Amino acid sequence: KQEVTQIPAALSVPEGENLVLNCSFTDSAIYNLQWFRQDPGKGLTSLLLIQSSQREQTSGRLNASLDKSSGRSTLYIAASQPGDSATYLCAVILMNNNAGNMLTFGGGTRLMVKP
Amino acid sequence: GAVVSQHPSWVICKSGTSVKIECRSLDFQATTMFWYRQFPKQSLMLMATSNEGSKATYEQGVEKDKFLINHASLTLSTLTVTSAHPEDSSFYICSARRVGSEKLFFGSGTQLSVL
């Protein structure tokens, strides 16, 4: 059974800092990995999608890397801003998933960026 | 971009009543939709996968007779919580996979409170 772990569970940083969020998964036979952002009481916003054949994806101040062999992904946020405060979730889809695109989510990292 | 509309955003109901939640893909066709549940301070948990025109596939531990899912068209899936009880109070989120894309697009979620 795929297990996804995110470390740290919570993170508080001053504005302007660069930071790294970590995601690890136990089954490396993944189809792809996604990073999401969740604001309190709201749904999810997809940030970055990395296919299993890719090593990284970039969008603005966000950069996500994927190392399948070690079962790890990192989300790098450059020059953090208070508006980045949210819970960040990573989720993976297994390669041989008979149910289709079923995501397994990590527990999330609650990020607080202080002005 | 792809938009998924989820309605209602929040609902308060008495114990024993049934609640229907709608999930619509507004500008794309979704052959597959997913329903998730999130309890406070916990990660999202997949409840079921619904494919247009066929019966939903439920995850272990999710009662199919209690959580009725209907995916009648390529743009609409509904989740009905039948005879809701306080322990069903949770945040329910749907997601839709656009045909030809691996990305999932999420609704804004429904906060259900059962008194």
What pLDDT is recorded for position A102?
60
Q: Mutate which of A7, A101, A110 to disrupt the B interface (most B C-beta within 10 Å)?
A: A101
CA end-to-end span of chain A: 41
Any chain A CB within 8 A of the CB of B41?
A: no
Q: What is the pLDDT of residue A95?
A: 62
What pLDDT is recorded for position B1? 62
CA–CA distance, B95 with B77 (Å, rounded to integer): 10
- Could you report the per-residue pLDDT of A55-105, keeping only the tens digit for each? 999 999 999 999 999 999 999 999 999 999 999 999 987 765 544 446 688
pLDDT of residue B59: 87
Question: Is there a contact between B2 and B102 (Cβ–Cβ < 8 Å)?
Answer: no
**Considering chain B, what percentage of its residues have pLDDT values greater than 90?**
45
- Is residue B48 less than 8 Å (CB to CB) from chain A? no
Asked whether the beta carbons of residue B43 and residue A101 sit closer than 8 angstroms, the reply is no
Cis peptide before A40 (omega within 30 of 0): no
Q: In Å, how far is A23's CA from the nearest CA of chain B?
A: 14
**Mean residue pLDDT across chain B:** 88
| Structure confidence at residue A99 (pLDDT) | 43
Q: Is the Cβ pair B44, A34 closer than 8 Å?
A: no
Q: What is the pLDDT of residues B42-92, one digit of tens each?
A: 667 889 988 888 888 898 899 999 999 998 888 999 999 999 999 999 989
Q: How confident is residue B16, by pLDDT bands cut at 50, 70 and 90?
A: very high
pLDDT in tens, A10-46: 999 999 999 999 999 998 888 888 899 988 756 678 8
Task: Give the pLDDT confidence score for residue B39 in this predicted structure.
Answer: 79
DSSP annotation of B88 reads G
The shortest CB-CB distance from B43 to any of A32, A49, A89 is to: A89
Q: What is the DSSP letter of B84?
A: -
Average of pLDDT values for B37-46?
77
What integer pLDDT is reported at residue A111 of this predicted model? 96
How many other C-beta atoms can be found within 10 angstroms of the C-beta atom of residue B92?
Answer: 24
Does the beta-carbon distance from B43 to A32 stay under 8 Å? no
Q: Give the chain A residue whose CA is nearest to the CA of B109.
A: A43
Residue B41 confidence class, pLDDT cut points 50, 70, 90: low
**pLDDT of the residue at A42:** 63
